[in-house]
Structure 1
Amino acid sequence: MASPTVPAKGAAEHKLPRTLIERLASHVASDGAETATIPTPFTGEPLATVPVSTAADVLKAYERAREAQRSWARLPVSERVKPFLRLSDALVDRRDEILDVIQLETGKARRHAMEEFLDVALCSLYYARRAERLLRPRRRQGMMPGVTRVRELRHPKGVVALIAPWNYPFALGASDIAPALMAGNAVIQKPDTQTCLSSLWVLDLLISLGLPRDLWQVVVGEPAEIGDPLIDNADYLSFTGSTKGGKAIAGKVASRLVGYSMELGGKNPMIVLDDADVERTARGAVRACFTNAGQLCISIERMYVHEAIYDRFVPRFAEITKNLRLGTELSFDVEMGSLTYPRQLDVVTRHVEQAVKEGATVLAGGRPRPEVGPLFYEPTVLTDVTGEMDLCANETFGPVVAIYKVKSEEEAIRRANDTEFGLNASVWTKDVARGRRVAARLEAGTVNVNDGFGAAFASYDAPMGGMKQSGMGRRHGSEGLLKFTEVQTVASQHFMDLEPPGKIGYDTFADVMATGIKLMKRLRVK
């Protein structure tokens, strides 16, 4: 049975106002000599034309950004956060406009575009409320209490280069850029050309809310043309994308001793324990696997189900999957949208076809749906997937999940950890304490108990990132802002110097200092 579809409205629904496109395009750092046409994945028809940046444009963008950053860094943090305090209200007031932009440039369902909207609104507000506290000077314990006084200071890095991905362009652009700017930096952002409109949209909005115009520069173009000047002039680099791409970029910045953070690929596991609630887990698994048509670094691609629950859970999960509503409509009725790029459709098709040819069983989906849109692929559930199939270990990044039966909790943990990746994981059980114990043994930067990925990702007070080949550094939490700063220690010495006073010899001074260590320990001063 094919997945049902939500009928599309007219072609006019898949357009953006020309005045909006022209205004957004004006924010690209480019002389305008070359342009690129962005198609909408829903139909393949042109959506917008934007200028393309050259290497010279990138260098000019850095000049403007550095000039703007010097003035911005001198402002009190309380002033720097004001545009971002205004941002959440402005986003709510213009919600429908940005949801349309996100859907039309990515092809995702509106409910999944809404997740991006919520992420930017809530994450930027989180940092706007806390930036002043996180960045204020802190007193630290000196070597000699009362004699050595120490303060820790935080300075901005300077100009941050941020390379944002195409799958969550609004969330993984603006939500990282906001703390970088609040920390006193300027930003040069390279969004993917296909999905640059949402970044330009929030930049346009922030300028109207008081952000200095040159502080956030957007460059658009191919890595072969603008990649080197972008990376070679950065004071810090933030990248979200593939592990292969991250390694190449890390090699470039390492030679300059420039800091970086990266969220990279994943082959994320979900463990269904023998006491899991079948209905709740099946519905949660659908969200975990098929949000944004599976084009999500933290979505689930491997599922390990205990044999005691397997025969009840798997048919129910497959049934719900078969009934997911596909469509191109700009409404919340659609449950799964399109893939974004033809190359992703090619990868998904190849992985599934190879697996089926070599013995995998299709329980749901398993085919493209060109009658819905050129890049649609049905949400797909497979069993009997073996180690030699590409689908088993390699990231598919599409609406496909493989289910494996396990005999024990120990087997599930071992197989979940049997991967080079370590980005996200999920555990389902009625016993939350048991779930937390299992979670602590999984080699993943975030683990969700009774949720697929949202509980950890949207908890902005906690760090989010990958272990193993899934990344370096973290976004969210205090590190999500402080990584964009240089830390400086300022220590002042009072009353006495760190050498023998007067005519006291070094032997006596050494004895006094050694005795002082024992005394400070006994008094718990140290």
Structure 2
Amino acid sequence: MTISISRKPLLPEGLTRQLAGQLTGTGPTVTAYAPWTGEPLVDVATSTAADVDAAFAKARGAQARWAATSPAERAKVFLRYYKLVLHNKKLMDLIQAQTGKARFTAFEETIDVAGMALYYARNAQAFLEPRRRKGGIPFATRVTELRHPKGVVAVIAPFNYPISDGICDVIPALIAGNGVVFKPDTQTALAPLLARELLIKAGLPAGLWQIVVGEPADIGQAMIDGADHVCFTGGNEAGKKIAEQAARRMIGATMQLGGKNPMLVFEDADLDKVVPAAARASFVSGGQMCLCSERIYVHASRYESFLEKLVEHTRGLKLGQGFDFEYDLGSLSHQRQLDKVARHVDDAVAHGAKVEIGGKARPDLGPYFYEPTVLTGVNAACEIATEETFGPVVSVYPFTDEAEALRLANATEYGLNASIWTKDLGRAHRLAAQIKSGAVNINEGYVSTHISYDAPMGGRKASGYGRRHGEQGLLTMCDVQIVASQHGISFDPKPGVTHEQLANQNTRIYQIMKALRLK
């Protein structure tokens, strides 16, 4: 593997201090460290539960005025935001410095947020306008469906994609007319702070989007207690606790949780196209993405050839650090991620798996670097067989027929993302419908579904519930109300008419309406 290291200052000190200074928490100050080097990056003022309560109060005060503006006016803010975020170099610098990821992966975050802003700016007005619905009695009952903002939405974002997995919940929440209280991971607070600053520059009222920082044990309950809806991206155990707390308050929740995503490679697939995409889908962001492929199943007739090509391609990947596009993979983000990756690989080897390439940490490059790793011979006794690794490790297995491929693809508790590679699109679509996953990509690993903003995306089974993107992703942030007005026909019996006679009369009316296809 090629090594590429650029020894430049991590970030201008003035920028980090200016952004961190926006946090007004009264809790302890903690230090965020740069994953590339382990050096201190910035001191962050954390929030207390009282600070969170104050943030909700500020957001709620601004939300009433914001909700009174038209969706068209709100959309103008996000059209300007699109231009400010797209290919924003400072934003990419911050993402890299806080997560350790490669430059192009940081660019994927900025273009994702820009694309989401543009999509909802173009479509929110149509999604939010009142809609006529069929009434119970044609012509006599007139029904209108209204969409109202919920109030203030709590968004809890993960460390691995601090703006893509966080701001992409903030955008539909705000454009629907809500306020937002946003909790980033303490390690990755700077990029969301800059993203907020840019949105205020685009015209968002400053009080509408509040950012708080702190550990779940300290402010998690306050986040749920103040919210009218909760969006969470992260681990399954934390997701279950948040969902339970939200349910106790009878508020909605959108949960995007973990994945153990399968890729199926059939005998007719073009391996020269599959292999680079499979490596990207497995190792992007150091494997620290919930959509990453962690299990690749290859038809037995192509297994050896695929494995040889994947190992050779992985050998050519550039592992490094720096604010440029000269390398493919960066560092993991935390010691806990490095420990989990190493534990999963060591456990697999202890149970008979083989490391085809990689399989070791690289402390010579930085504290959390780990080589991209390909495993074979993984069996059911290995932790890595069914548990999400969230690192640059993929296991490769052979299969013999479609039935076995489907069984293996569906063999974990997760159901977030999947990938199918074949030239037979009829077969691909038929199999995709049978995979218990919220998203299935055909002849791509994860990008096709992820950037199709008009299509709702989310998990099945243990991978969560609720949807991002599309009309459904916006309406998740709304309360739906129906208003029905009655004209001419009353539902009470006329004088001298018994309830039995009225029932018989209504039965005849229903039969007539069915015959005339009015119902």
TM-score normalized by the length of structure 1: 0.97
Corresponding position of 2:2: 4
- 1:204 offset after TM fit, Å? 0.6
Are the counterparts in 1 of residues 152 and 178 from structure 2 also a CA contact under 8 Å? yes
Distance 1:384 1:497 in 2: 72
2:306 is equivalent to residue 313 of structure 1? yes
1:20 aligned residue (15, 19, 22): 15
Task: Identify unmatched segments of 5+ residues in structure 1.
Answer: none
- Which residue pairs with 1:451 in the alignment? 444
Is 1:337 aligned to residue 330 of structure 2? Answer: yes
Provide the residue aligned with 1:100 in structure 2. 93
Gaps of 5+ in 2: none
- How do residues 163-182 of structure 1 correspond to structure 2 at under 5 angstroms? 163-182=156-175
Identical columns (%)? 49
Query: Residue 107 of structure 2 aligns with which residue?
Result: 114
Equivalent AA in structure 1 for residue 38 of structure 2: G
Question: Which letter maps to 1:47?
Answer: L
- Deviation readout 1:473-508 (Å, 9 max, x if unpaired): 111111111001111111111123112345444344
- State the alpha-carbon separation in 2 of the partners of residues 252 and 510 from structure 1: 45
1:230 and 1:172, CA in 2 relative to 1: closer, same or farther beyond 3 A? Answer: same
Look up the equivalent residue of 1:18 and give its one-letter code. Answer: E
2:367 to 364, 370, 374: 374
1:429 is aligned to 2:422: yes
Q: Residues 254-265 of structure 1 correspond to what in structure 2 (within 5 A)?
A: 254-265=247-258
Partner of residue 363 from structure 1, selected from 336, 356, 361: 356
Q: Which residue of 2 aligns with 1:131?
A: 124
Selected match of 1:270 from 263, 286, 289? 263
Alignment of 1:63-82 (within 5 A): 63-82=57-76
Distance in structure 1 (CA, Å) of the matches to 2:290 and 2:416: 8
Q: 1:139-194 CA distances to partner (integer Å, 9 max, x unpaired)?
A: 01001111111101111111111100111111011111000001111011110000
Q: Separation in 1 of the partners of 2:479 and 2:24?
A: 27
Q: 2: CA distance between counterparts of 1:187 and 1:466?
A: 23
User: Does 2:287 align with 1:294?
Assistant: yes
Checking the alignment, whether the CA contact within 8 Å between 1:134 and 1:478 is kept in structure 2 is yes
Give the count of matched residue pairs: 519
Please show how residues 53-68 of structure 1 align to structure 2 within 5 Å: 53-68=47-62
SS across alignment from 2:296? strand
Structure-1 separation of matches of 2:271 and 2:297: 14
Work out which of the residue numbers 173, 185, 188 in structure 1 matches 2:178. Answer: 185
Query: Which residue number corresponds to residue 409 of structure 2?
Result: 416
Cα distance between partner residues in 1 of 2:384 and 2:229:
35
Structure 1 distance, partners of 2:24, 2:181, is 10
Gap change, CA 1:359 and 1:489, over 3 Å in 2? same
CA contact (8 A) 2:351 2:381 kept: no
What is residue 133 of structure 2 aligned with on the other side?
Answer: 140
What pairs with 1:386-401 in structure 2 (closer than 5 Å)?
A: 386-401=379-394
Residue pair 1:119, 1:171 contacting (<8 A) in 2 also: yes
Deviation at 1:510, TM superposition (A): 2.7
Query: Residue 297 of structure 2 aligns with which residue?
Result: 304
CA distance in structure 1 between the partners assigned to 2:17 and 2:351 by the alignment? 50
Q: Cα deviations across residues 308-327 of structure 1 (Å, max 9, x unaligned)?
A: 11121110011101110000
SS state at 1:262 partner = strand
- Deviation for aligned residue 1:428: 0.5
Runs of 4+ aligned structure 1 residues displaced above 6 Å come to none
Match of 1:441 among 430, 434, 440: 434
Give the partner amino acid of 1:72.
W
* Aligned partners of 1:29 and 1:61 also within 8 Å: no
Shift of 1:227: 0.9
RMSD of Structure 2 on Structure 1 (CA) = 1.2
